[in-house]
């Protein structure tokens, strides 16, 4: 899957990191780094991270027809 974080919006709240630490990292003083092409198995975690971002800075593709495949 593919994700993009709008780093102009990102405030370094870290909410995404706490819910998907394999994809998002906070390095140093509140600077976010992330894996733009995480494994499909990370989808649930990435969706949680995107929903949790207080400024809605995380955009993920929803175009790859995986609807319904993330049943926990």
DSSP annotation string for 20-40: -TTTEEEETTTEEEE-SS--G
Residue 68 binding another protein, by CB under 8 A: yes
| Angle (CA) 14 57 42, round 5° | 70
- Residue 1, contacted partner among ligand SF4, another protein, none, CB below 5-8 A by kind: none
Q: Which two three-digit tokens encode residue 63?
A: 């175009």
Residue 61 binding another protein, by CB under 8 A: no
# of chain residues touching another protein (CB under 8 A): 27
Give contact residues for another protein (rule: CB under 8 A).
13-15, 17-22, 25-27, 44-45, 47-48, 51-52, 54-56, 67-72
């Amino acid at each position: 899957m593919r994700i993009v974080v709008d780093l102009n919006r990102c405030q370094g709240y870290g909410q995404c990191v706490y819910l998907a630490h394999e994809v998002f990292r906070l390095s140093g003083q509140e600077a976010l780094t992330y894996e733009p092409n995480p494994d499909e198995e990370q989808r649930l975690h990435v969706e949680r991270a995107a929903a949790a971002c207080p400024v809605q800075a995380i955009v993920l593709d929803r175009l790859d027809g995986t609807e319904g495949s993330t049943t926990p």
